[in-house]
Amino acid sequence: MANADKFKKVIAHAKEYGFVFQSSEIYDGLSAVYDYGQNGSELKNNIKRYWLDSMVKLHENIVGIDSAIFMHPTVWKASGHVGAFNDPLIDNKDSKKRYRADVLIEDFVEKINIKIKKDIAKAKKRFGDAFDEKEFRSTNGRILDRQKKIDEILLRFKTAMEKEDLADVKQIIIDNGIICPVSGSKNWTDVRQFNLMFDTKLGSVSEEADVIYLRPETAQGIFVNYLNVQKTGRMKLPFGIAQIGKAFRNEIVARQFIFRMREFEQMEMQFFIRPGEEDKWFEYWKSLRMKWHEALGLGKEKYRFHDHENLAHYAKAATDIEFDFPFGFKELEGIHSRTDFDLSQHQEFSGKKLQYFDPELNKSYVPYVIETSIGVDRMFLTVLATSFEEEEIKKENGKIETRTVLRIPPALAPIKAAILPLMKKDGLAEKAREILDDLKYDFNCQYEEKDSIGKRYRRQDAIGTPYCITVDHQTLEDETVTIRERDTMQQERVEIRKLSSIIDGKVNFKNLFKKLR
Ligand code: ATP
């Protein structure tokens, strides 16, 4: 199935099975804002728990906080967001559509890239085993020309952005004949900078009210609490502060479902360290964060690092963990070595000392920071899109049937087990409820008695429930049930008293945490 088709199916499935709904849908929705339904919110909570526990429970020196969304307006001056949290935007006068100029240019470059890839694929076919891609790239005239064009465009764009030369950004679009995908015209407005922060007013009297912002990231809530946590928790360097919370960005182009939203959630951790130790800790967090992703078993080949070449002036190093989304490799998480930039800025703007007295060195300094930052919603999308499968199964009568199954990592599955009485009568429903009453304290379970057992299995497959437990007449005689496993569809007769440990063995977070050692 083509990726685009699969992605459409995933989005439809997310709605049909109570994972993700368009916000305010009965009013035709609100662009790039989504609600999580009964199954989606469970999956999301499990993702958050996996992240927070891996930080706070597994590290003696990391603690969690929950800071407010509203912050003092000066915070965003100190952080640089008021001056520089901008995207360059451009409008097409014919279609009246608005675009991010950088995205238009990147998409144009990607088209040239695709042509290069096609040439390479053709040559590979022609030359067979003897084909050497590296040599072909460095000698084939057409490819060299195309690569040169890409390099020139990207360099010119980078220089224009650094010089804040928005006229030249527009000129790049004109010179390369980039057209509006909707109107097909080159009738562009000038490029303008657009600040992504939402603002609102604090206070009841509007004339006197101060403009404040909805936070565009959770990290600043951590920086401004650095000293509070360090002092009250008697934390010694190195130590980390982790936080999960909502962030808001007025994204110009919102697309790709929950990949780019205007209201979303972040999981961020700032690790405060002694200056000079940043390279060691940067490597530590790079490797641990990758392990965290890989432990889920979605496929190692789906992740890659993308090191930033154009670093912010204060950054020592930065890398993205990219994921192979249905629309290609895109940023899932950022890991940044941020020096003492953030704390020093807050020190300067607030006039309060934000330092650490290092007893070993017998001196005070502003700690350096390594940051890990990941979007909950993007993480949710990796799990949902990768676990969605339409599987063909051969029935006993030889017929082929398709079952839709979400192979969600068991620890993250919204429902861990479904308890299904074969029929309502003969005391089977009561027995099933008895089992449910026993399991529900440890696991999120569901009881279902409607429709045939086959239909009930399909419904549970479609929401990714690892186990279905069926209660039949034999159960009443010998205290056994059949337990069916989601991925293999294997059924096994087991004693009721063993159910808890069987389910636990599969869904316990410990299975994931052990892989992080
Ligand atoms: P992008 O380049 O995709 O806009 P970014 O570099 O601006 O992302 P950061 O500011 O580093 O993103 O934010 C950290 C993480 O927050 C990202 O890796 C991503 O997972 C998530 N994130 C950022 N913006 C959004 C958004 N609009 N919707 C959903 N998640 C987001």
pLDDT of residue 511: 93
Please give the mean pLDDT across all residues of the chain. 93
Neighbouring CB atoms inside 10 A of 410's CB total 23
For 10-43, give one letter per residue: b (16+ CB within 10 A) or e. bbebbeebbbbebbeeeeeeeebbbebbebbebb
**Beta-carbon-side half-sphere exposure of residue 114 (alpha carbons within 13 Å):** 7
Q: Tell how far the Cα of 260 is from the centroid of ligand 1, in angstroms.
A: 7
What type of residue sits at position 218? T
Q: Which atom of ligand 1 is nearest to the CA of 320?
A: 18
CB of residue 102 inside a 6 A radius of ligand 1: no
DSSP summary character for residue 70: B
Contact 508, 411 (CB under 8 A): yes
Burial class (CB in 10 A: 0-12, 13-18, 19+), 111: exposed
CATH of 86-195 given 3.10.270.10, 3.10.20.90, 3.20.20.80, 3.30.40.230: 3.30.40.230
Beta strand 20-22 with 199-202: parallel, antiparallel or unpaired?
Answer: unpaired
- Write out residues in the chain with pLDDT < 50, as ranges: none
pLDDT of residue 261: 96
pLDDT of residue 203: 77
pLDDT of residue 496: 96
79-103 tens-digit pLDDT: 999 988 888 999 999 998 889 999 8
Contact 398, 33 (CB under 8 A): no
CB of residue 261 inside a 6 A radius of ligand 1: yes
DSSP summary character for residue 366: P
pLDDT of residue 230: 97
pLDDT of residue 388: 97
Query: What CATH homologous superfamily does 415-516 map to?
Result: Anticodon-binding domain (3.40.50.800)
pLDDT of residue 207: 64
Q: How far apart are CA 198 and CA 207, in angstroms?
A: 19
> Using only C-alpha atoms, what is the Rg of the chain?
27
pLDDT of residue 202: 84
Q: Where do the structural domains in the chain lie, given as residue ranges? A: 86-195, 415-516
Burial class (CB in 10 A: 0-12, 13-18, 19+), 363: exposed
Give, for ligand 1, the residue of 47, 85, 86, 266 to mutate: max count of ligand atoms closer than 8 Å to Cβ.
266
Q: Tell how far the Cα of 361 is from the centroid of ligand 1, in angstroms.
A: 37
Burial class (CB in 10 A: 0-12, 13-18, 19+), 301: exposed
pLDDT of residue 460: 97
Listed in sequence order, the residues at least 6 apart from 405 whose beta carbon sits closer than 8 Å to its beta carbon are 389, 391, 461, 462, 464, 486, 487
Q: How far is CA 324 from CA 3, 327, 328, 351, in A?
A: 11, 8, 5, 45
Tokens 């609600």, residue located: 35
CA 121, 122, 127, 132 torsion: positive or negative? negative
Q: Compute the CA torsion angle 169, 174, 178, 184 (nearest 10 deg).
A: 130
Q: Whose CA is nearest to atom 18 of ligand 1?
A: 333
Q: Tell how far the Cα of 85 is from the centroid of ligand 1, in angstroms.
A: 12
195-247 tens-digit pLDDT: 899 999 887 666 666 789 999 999 999 999 999 999 999 999 999 999 999 99
